[in-house]
Amino acid sequence: MAKKKSHPTSAAIIDELILRAARSPGLTLSETTLMEEFAISRPTANKILSDLALRGYAYRGPGRPTVLRPRPESACTAHFLIPDALALDHYALPDNYRVNLRLLRGALAEARQRGCLLSLTQLDPVGFEDDLERILGMAQRPVFIATAVHQYSAFIARARRMNLCVVVFGDQAPCGHSVFVDGSQALLQVLRFTASQGRRRFLMLERFDAHDRTAYKREAFLAATQGMEARVLRLQPGDDLKARLAEALKEGSIDALFGANDSIAIAAARALPELGIEIGPQCALIGYDHSPEAQAYKPSFATVDVPLEEIGRRLVEGAALLAEDPKRDFQVQVHARAVLAGG
């Protein structure tokens, strides 16, 4: 009786493709070619390609073929920095945790596709020398990703003096290796559209921030409302939002409210009806971030969509490219857009 021909295992196929990656870097693969060559199913082919990418032998980009590459001597290790002092006021706010989770989701997806090692690294923004020495002892080519740029300014300066690669994310003009989000234009668009609907009495709400990271939003707000009644209300830690709004309304009524992020905007929208102001025809609501909370909120309101998962991806892209060539330039601008949230 003839022996049934056995098919290679997934492990054997991966070993063969790793050899090809060394012999022919840049060779492209697809699920279809693997299915035809090795007589395997599409899910198996997809898993094999994913495993190759995860181990650093291939790159899988959205909508692009899988490209084989030789494994580097030392895989890129990207350290996504998290402040050691998580109790810091601005970092402990729930909306900031949500922002970081959305960034991380994109960063992890890109790291998997590129075969990068992504480490969530707690680093004290002040006493970081011991942590830095420990990290340098663990990896030959560490690259750092810093999203809390103001907190890590001393570390970033120190790392650059040591010729270490740091990719930063911020809302301000790009500096060094960076991913920069331009939200001002989208915010101006939203504010000017609101003014074109006959709104003339604007109030901006922002939280106190020692680093004044909402300055660019405040500048856009004041530029869009020139010649109108426009006020800025800064909330201090521990403030009662409803009480502060009541004080502001004693100084004059409003017909448009802009929250420096969606969380503030929605909290204000819930407090205003108790003060005799309804969101909608009586008072327009404007937010910033397009957070999951905003997407579920009713009624709908205008906000600015910041593509955080794309930003997370681009940060890891920069880390991987700099690990290969520390002298290359890497500055990426990501554009926010005006959208309608909720509904």
Question: What CATH number does the domain containing 278 carry?
Answer: 3.40.50.2300
Are 144 and 167 in contact by the 8 Å Cβ rule? The answer is: yes
Q: Mention every residue, 6+ apart, whose C-beta is less than 8 A from residue 128.
A: 154, 155, 158
**Domain hosting residue 60, numbered range:** 10-68
Does 4 fall in a domain?
no
Residues 194 and 266 grouped into a single domain: yes
Positions in the chain whose pLDDT score sits under 70 = 1-6, 54-56, 61-63, 71-75, 83-99, 137-141, 171-175
Residues 272 and 254 grouped into a single domain: yes
Number of domains in the chain: 3
Are 14 and 48 in contact by the 8 Å Cβ rule? The answer is: yes
Residues 243 and 198 grouped into a single domain: yes
Quote the pLDDT of residue 242. 95
Residues 316 and 168 grouped into a single domain: yes
Does 3 fall in a domain?
no
Does 2 fall in a domain?
no
pTM over 0.85: no
Does 113 fall in a domain?
yes
CA distances from 52 to 27, 42, 74, 327 (A): 13, 15, 16, 28
Quote the pLDDT of residue 93. 42
Q: How far is residue 253's CA from residue 334's CA, in Å, rounded to a whole number?
A: 36
Residue 183: alpha-carbon gap to chain centroid: 13
At 219, list the tokens.
Answer: 């500048």
Quote the pLDDT of residue 138. 63
